[in-house]
Amino acid sequence: MILNGTTRTVSPGSASHPLPRPGSPERGASQGILRKPGGDEASIAAPAPPVTFPFSAIVGQDEMRRALMIAAVDPSVGGVLVFGDRGTGKSTAIRGLAALLPPMKAVIGCPYSCDPAKAAGECPHCSGRPETRRSHLAPVPVVDLPLGATEDRVVGALDLERALTRGEKAFEPGLLARANRGFLYIDEVNLLDDHLVDLLLDVAASGINTVEREGLSVRHPAKFVLVGSGNPEEGELRPQLLDRFGLAVEVTTPTDLPTRIDVVRRRDAYERDPAGFCAAYAKADRALQKRLTAARARLSALDVPDETLEAAARLCLALGTDGLRGELTLMRTARALAAYEGADTVGIDHLRQVAPSALRHRLRRNPLDESGSTARVARAVAEVLGS
Ligand SMILES: [Zn+2]
């Protein structure tokens, strides 16, 4: 884990960053860094890209890192909910992960960063101009959703006046447009308006954002991994919303001395020399990137055997989870983990590893069992799957 303060701007032009760095969270992926011609390092026209704390340099927080990687391998597992103390490196981990993902090919000028290899049908920008879909490489976006954001700012705004007076359909894309193909991060998601959380979960599940006002309607692609973080002591999420996040992980401040020292030492080294620190972890980040890319490619070829599915069902039955969402998530998560590990099949051990993150937020309150949800899942795993 890391302490807070995720990014820091350093002198640009250092050649020691072979990996893509994301734009600042409030900027779109398509806004590149402009330099004046001539290459004079002193005459940089735009601010330098922030240097992100490397994902591979994060100490501990294994469950959170694994959940984020699983979501990156297969976004269909649904979002990730991270519960825990402040300053446990949640935001840093997301930015670090996005930064190590391979840059994506995106249509130049498209506010939704469309993939030029895909049909333009869903995109209001590209579908009108299929012949001009030139592309560039853009970093995977990480978009922050601030708590006070209005619905218009999140989903985008339709300009009704322009539509009525000039007959034009004018749409101002919102944060969901910018998050397409990347990550949408909400700190303190439990303090966000329920209605907005509901809407976000709908869009995340369908991959399409539809905005309708007074008979006008706009649809655009919005495929993103939703990552919400929060402190349960400051407000609970409604169970109906909780259950719609794919994975839930708990992070805590480490209590053992060596880990704490390691965290502080690495943070300090990063603050003193971000470029040098990142260079030291570039190789490890590249290795992770390779693994993630390979896992994505393996995913579609991986079958889940009947015995694994049966074990997943027995586990969910034993825990009394509502509906079938738990089993579906458990299966997808185990498959993504198997792909990440380069396994040939999805086995019981994969289930065992992912069961806490896939199920702990789906348990009904049991008045006779006051032990925490993590302990209950662990007990059921031991009983049903064996240790
Ligand atoms: Zn487009």
Query: Residue 97 above 80 pLDDT?
Result: yes
Query: What does the alpha-carbon distance between residue 377 and residue 366 come to, in Å, rounded to a whole number?
Result: 13
Neighbours of 41 (CB within 10 A): 10
Of the pLDDT bands very low, low, confident and very high (cuts 50, 70, 90), residue 19 is very low
Enter the DSSP assignment of 234.
Answer: G
Rounded to the nearest whole angstrom, what is the distance from the C-alpha of residue 217 to the centroid of ligand 1? Answer: 17
Q: How confident is the model at residue 118 (pLDDT cuts 50, 70, 90)?
A: confident
- The residue range of the domain holding 341 is 306-385
14, pLDDT greater than 80: no
CA distance linking residue 332 with residue 105, whole number of Å: 26
Identify whether 28 is part of a domain: no
User: Which comes out higher in pLDDT, residue 378 or 169?
Assistant: 378
In a domain, 148, yes or no: yes
**82, 64 contact by CB (below 8 A):** yes
- 81 and 218 share one domain: yes
More confident of the two residues 211 and 38: 211
Between the CA of 115 and the centroid of ligand 1 the distance, in Å, is 7
308 pLDDT exceeds 80? yes
269-282: pLDDT as tens digits = 999 999 999 999 99
What tens digit of pLDDT does each residue of 187-232 get?
888 888 888 988 998 898 889 999 988 888 899 999 999 999 887 7
130 pLDDT tier (thresholds 50, 70, 90): low
Q: What is the pLDDT of residue 6?
A: 40
Looking at residues 358-373, what average pLDDT do you find?
78
At 153, which CATH number?
3.40.50.300
pLDDT of amino acid 369 = 64
* DSSP secondary structure letters along 202-217: HHHHHSEEEEEETTEE
Instruction: Please report the pLDDT score of residue 387 as a whole number.
Output: 73
Instruction: Check whether residue 337 and residue 242 sit in a common domain.
Output: no
Cα of 375 vs centre of ligand 1, distance in Å, is 46
Residue 260 within any structural domain of the chain: no
In angstroms, the Cα distances linking 128 to 109, 115, 120, 124, 355 are 13, 15, 8, 7, 45
Q: Which of 35, 260, 314, 325 is catalytic?
A: 325
Q: How far is the CA of 94 from the centre of ligand 1 (A)?
A: 25
The question of whether 244 is a catalytic residue gets the answer: no
Query: How many separate domains does the chain show?
Result: 2
- 153 shares a domain with 90: yes
Question: Is 319 in the same domain as 242?
Answer: no
Helices 306-319 & 373-385, crossing angle to 10 degrees?
140
Whole-number mean pLDDT of the chain? 83
